[in-house]
Structure 1
Amino acid sequence: MITLSLVTLLLVSLYYVIKQVISPLETIDRELNRIGALAHDELFGNEIKRLSGSVKKLERAMADRNLAEVEREKTIRQLREALEQIKTLKGFIPICAGCKKIRDDQGYWEQLESYLAAHTDATFSHGLCPECFEKAMAELDSK
Structure 2
Amino acid sequence: MRPSAASREQARLEALQGYRILDTEAEQAYDDITLLAAQLCDVPIALISLVDAERQWFKSRVGVDVEETSRDVSFCAHAILSDETLVVRDAREDDRFQDNPLVCSEPNIVFYAGVPLRTPEGARIGTLCVIDHRPRELSPTQLQALEALARQVVLQLELKRVSDQLAGALERIDVMEELIPICSYCKGIRNDEGYWGTVEAFIKSHANVEFSHGVCEACMAKHFPEVPPLP
Question: Comparing both structures, which one devotes a greater share of its residues to strand?
Answer: 2
Question: Comparing both structures, which one devotes a greater share of its residues to helix?
Answer: 1
Instruction: Give the TM-score category using the shorter length.
Output: 0.3 to 0.5
Normalised by the length of structure 1, the TM-score is: 0.47
Q: Larger relative contact order (C-alpha < 8 A, sep ≥ 6)?
A: 1
Normalised by the length of structure 2, the TM-score is: 0.32
